[in-house]
Chain A
Amino acid sequence: MAQQRVLVIGGGLAGLAATMRMAELGVHVDLVSLVPVKRSHSVCAQGGINSVNALTRQQGDNEWKHFDDTVYGGDFLQHQPPVKEMADWGPRIVDLMDRLGVPFNRTPEGFRDQRRFGGTLYKRTSFAGATTGQQLLYSLDEQVRRWEVEGLVKKWEFWDFLEPVLDDSGRCRGAVCQDLVSMEFRAFPADAVILATGGCGLVYGRSTMSMVCTGSAVSRAYQAGAGYANGEFIQVHPTAIPGADKLRLMSESARGEGGRVWVPRTPQDPRSPKNIPEAERYYFLEERYPKYGNLVPRDIATREIFDICTTDGLSVEKDRLCVYLDLTHIPRETLDRKLGGILEIYEKFQGVDPRSEPMKIFPAVHYSMGGLWVDYEKSATGGLVEGSPRNQQTNIPGLYAIGECDYQYHGANRLGANSLLSCIFTGLFCAPGVIAGGQSSAGTESLFAAAIRRQEERHKALLSRTAGVENPYDLHQELGNIMTRTATVVRRNDQLAAAYAEVCALEERWRTCAISDTGNWTNQNVVFTKSLGDMFPLAKLILKGALQRDECRGAHFKPDFAMPGIAATDPAEKRREAEAWCDRFEENTRRWLKTTVAKHGADGHPEISYEDIDTSLIPPRPRLYGLVGGEVIEEVWKQRQAAKAATNGHAAAAAGPVTSGA
């Protein structure tokens, strides 16, 4: 039998985990990456990685609760079997990373230390200083280097994925990629292709993402026929450092270690923050969310920070929106040991020591919950069937997506420290299925010859555009401004519709971009222009998905469709309002608890359909973090669920979460 060969695009956590696992199973891997894999965007992840652990288990935690927190935090927009499987794998994955040498912080007795992250009441998050993503990435990079020496992995660094190559039956047989140095095109026949290319932050111009997170690879798969799901769900991280070139992340771990968010009660109080007495500070997250405090889920923290600055006018500065994130009450030694990496970033780029002065932060685009639509095979116990070729496969057979570029794990809002877990999990878990479903690419030479010709022509056409008028870098900035203004924290239908038209107009202007570099050696100008062109289809599906979804769910917030809390004070009236609230919630669930699936239409516009969600394990319930009158709503809701359970005799619909046997 011919040697199996799989092509992995992207060398972040997901791509490296898949590569390591497949090499271990004896399969040859070609690993393609825009940058040396050690420089992938996973390196920027700071706070940590979630899993149930020995300590939380003794406090009543278990995998089911991690699963429950994840789907509740994600507003139930996920199919539940993959999320359950991921939570079950959590402890194993952190153990594995520990064995691979990740220098996790330690307790005095030498166990892994954990901290608390948003959207949970347990300390599930293992961490290595404040550069956990870096440390996890390096450990996998080292293992893949080991396999490279063994001859099972061949890296293609500084290569760009251009298109998946499909045969007449629609199966993916490999891909065409381009060398970013010599600009040479090359065919990569493969038994299967895995995309592990991360998020699409650059569609928003500036974000917390790296410059390689253009989304172009995913866009190219989408334009070749792959479905893109839940595109409108974009996570805006509550705390980032505003910058001209980039919005640098300030990890949630700053709050996990006790950081407090506040603004002066007096608008734009001119005093230095240290001279503002406690009574004149408004710790708005702690006051509004007594249970979770500064660690409410990200979508909520983001909206509150945004609101306090825009609606309440309490921004610390007048010309630049920001709030204080204060660590100054924590001993310097603790800060250096647990948060050193991120505090250095603040110090280096802002010139202010955050150990002695509160940081000024504001939300920024951070993560794509949506991504390529992928399949899974459900097991009898409600998880996934390991080794099934369906797991993580897009609607194009033979083409897989893992990590941030799939859509499956985080629903409408991702919990902090769950992304590193989902990346490593999908990488490790998909490998046996990818191998089982692989199909030899023998006899496909003519397909690749045609694909290379197509790409060469596209490239030549771009290079010959010297007489163009538009500047690609300026167009990118315009695109980013439109998207940031209309499709982030607060969304309104009139603005989204207008933005869609503006993006279409920009796409037309892109067709007349001037290429200022016509050479054929390390031509970054033409590569950027190409990837900019591929941002428009993604921008359009994000906008259209957001425009059509008339509800509030997780990161997708439309004030025109918000469901405010209970206004009444009279008990009977309160009860009536709560009943009405629950009616509306149930109606909304029927109407909108669905996956958005976008397909690239022949006319270049996304065609959107909706798909039912498997919520068979945990029935959807209202997300009531800090909602006024939440306790009455919860009471009504529980009674309804109990009544339903009584009539159905259905145990799973009972009010409380089912506790797993684990």
Chain B
Amino acid sequence: MIQLVESSAPRSVRVRVLRQDAPGEESYWQHFDVPYEPNMNVISVLQKIAALAHAEDGQPVPPVAWDCSCLEEVCGSCTMLINGRTRMACSALVDNLLDEGDEIELRPMTKFPVVRDLCVDRSRLFRSLERVKAWVPVDGSYDHGPGPRVSPEEQEDAYPLATCISCGCCLEACPQFTKIEMVRRDDESQEAFEQRRREAFDEGFVGPHAVSQAMLFNAHPIGKMIADERMESLTSQGGIQMCGNAQNCVAVCPKHIPLTRSIARAGRAATVWAIKKLFDR
């Protein structure tokens, strides 16, 4: 499909970017005209915009700010809304995007506070991993020999869940995950602000990525030793009960992680957990 486009290749690509100079400021559209090259992706478009340093009308403008690092869809940095769809900028190929329309539209994700332009603050995503204790609670790093034996089936079940790149696509698409934007007060210390923000995060939905991580570690032979703690977290405020089963998460995951399977497992486990708690009282 890439090859087919070349014959009718355009000379330039029109790109419109929703910009915002800083948190709390008004956003605005800016248009850029970028010279076309075969096999371009959105990253190379943004690199060209940075090098051009002027908008379509010739006015000098500061480069668009965006996050990226690996450029091969494994670091999870470059998530944005491209032609309205949440996806990774590195693997969004321009030729495919031009099949969707004459110009390319870039916007920041809407569920996270904008830092600047296409950069958003995704610290809540990582806070969720703390909430569900997404780790194996080992004694320490001293030598205790190998880990437990694992069947190939168990490994093949766990591995896809372990490939979550924390990009946030699932959170952007989830109707139950709504934006929490906090502003530091003038009289507030950084530590006090972070504490207040953490508390606000903890009231919101933990998100499909974290539910899936909880299931990954609850299935691990050592990880499951604190399965109860994870279930406690998943059944408290902002837990699994908030999932509305829209199934958007699994549709947008760039790594095709079976998120809805994890959510279904978590739902069943939550029921068992609730009954167990009832009888343990």
Interface flag for B30 (CB, 8 Å): no
A-facing residues in B1-41 (Cβ within 8 Å): 1-3, 21-22, 37, 39-41
Indicate if the CB atoms of A245 and B71 lie closer than 8 Å: yes
B72 CB contact (under 8 Å) in A96, A146, A349: A349
- Pick from B41, B51, B77, B155 the residue with the most CB of A within 10 Å: B155
Interface flag for B180 (CB, 8 Å): no
CB distance from A205 to the nearest CB of B (A): 12
**Stretch in contact with the other chain, from B58-66, B234-242, B260-268:** B58-66
Indicate if the CB atoms of A517 and B63 lie closer than 8 Å: yes
Taking A43-B74, A473-B50 as known contacts, 4 extra A-B pairs with beta carbons closer than 8 A to each other, sorted by chain A number, are: A24-B141, A105-B155, A138-B162, A211-B71
Indicate if the CB atoms of A146 and B145 lie closer than 8 Å: no
Top 10 A-B pairs, shortest CB-CB distance:
A517-B62, A98-B147, A142-B135, A110-B149, A473-B51, A516-B53, A522-B116, A101-B136, A39-B75, A99-B147
Q: Which residues of B contact A43 (CB under 8 A)?
A: 70, 74-75, 165
CB distance from A323 to the nearest CB of B (A): 19
Indicate if the CB atoms of A244 and B40 lie closer than 8 Å: yes
Interface flag for A454 (CB, 8 Å): no
Q: Which residues of A contact B72 (CB under 8 A)?
A: 44, 246, 248-249, 345, 349
Q: Which residues of A contact B65 (CB under 8 A)?
A: 522, 524
Interface flag for B97 (CB, 8 Å): no
A-B contacts, 7 of them at CB < 8 A, read A35-B75, A39-B76, A39-B166, A99-B146, A131-B163, A349-B41, A521-B21
Interface flag for A298 (CB, 8 Å): no
A104 CB contact (under 8 Å) in B51, B67, B145, B155: B155
B-facing residues in A49-97 (Cβ within 8 Å): 92, 95-96
Interface flag for A558 (CB, 8 Å): no
Q: Which residues of B contact A38 (CB under 8 A)?
A: 76, 126, 166
A-facing residues in B125-165 (Cβ within 8 Å): 126, 129-130, 133-138, 140-141, 143-147, 149-152, 154-156, 158-159, 162-163, 165
Count of chain B residues with a beta carbon within 8 Å of a chain A beta carbon = 72
- Bound: A100/B162 CA distance, A: 12
Interface flag for A36 (CB, 8 Å): yes
- Bound: A514/B53 CA distance, A: 10
Indicate if the CB atoms of B146 and A149 lie closer than 8 Å: no
Indicate if the CB atoms of B51 and A100 lie closer than 8 Å: no
A residues neighboring B (CB under 8 Å):
20-21, 24, 35-36, 38-41, 43-44, 92, 95-96, 98-101, 103-112, 128-129, 131, 134-135, 138-139, 142-143, 145-146, 148-149, 181, 210-212, 243-246, 248-249, 337, 341, 345, 348-351, 428, 471, 473-474, 514, 516-519, 521-525
**Contacts A211-B68, A349-B72; A521 near B91 (Cβ below 8 A):** no
Q: Which residues of A contact B147 (CB under 8 A)?
A: 95, 98-101
Q: Which residues of A contact B144 (CB under 8 A)?
A: 95, 99
Indicate if the CB atoms of A244 and B126 lie closer than 8 Å: no
Indicate if the CB atoms of A98 and B146 lie closer than 8 Å: yes
Indicate if the CB atoms of B146 and A95 lie closer than 8 Å: yes
A145 CB contact (under 8 Å) in B119, B129, B145, B158: B129
- Bound: A44/B21 CA distance, A: 32
Q: Which residues of B contact A246 (CB under 8 A)?
A: 71-72
Smallest CB gap from A243: residue in B:
B39
Indicate if the CB atoms of B73 and A103 lie closer than 8 Å: no
Indicate if the CB atoms of B152 and A107 lie closer than 8 Å: yes
CB distance from B146 to the nearest CB of A (A): 5
**Stretch in contact with the other chain, from B98-106, B199-207, B215-223, B245-253:** B215-223
Interface flag for B47 (CB, 8 Å): yes
Indicate if the CB atoms of A142 and B141 lie closer than 8 Å: no
Q: Which residues of B contact A210 (CB under 8 A)?
A: 69-71, 75
- Bound: A547/B137 CA distance, A: 51
Q: Which residues of A contact B43 (CB under 8 A)?
A: 245
- Bound: A522/B50 CA distance, A: 14
Indicate if the CB atoms of B152 and A149 lie closer than 8 Å: no
- Bound: A350/B140 CA distance, A: 43
A212 CB contact (under 8 Å) in B69, B134, B140: B69
Indicate if the CB atoms of A95 and B75 lie closer than 8 Å: no
CB distance from B262 to the nearest CB of A (A): 15
Indicate if the CB atoms of A516 and B69 lie closer than 8 Å: no
Indicate if the CB atoms of A143 and B162 lie closer than 8 Å: no
Smallest CB gap from B116: residue in A:
A522
- Bound: A145/B137 CA distance, A: 11
A-facing residues in B73-96 (Cβ within 8 Å): 73-77, 90-91, 93
Over the window 108-119 of chain B, the binary record of Cβ atoms lying under 8 Å from chain A Cβ atoms (1 yes, 0 no) is 000000011101
Indicate if the CB atoms of B150 and A106 lie closer than 8 Å: yes
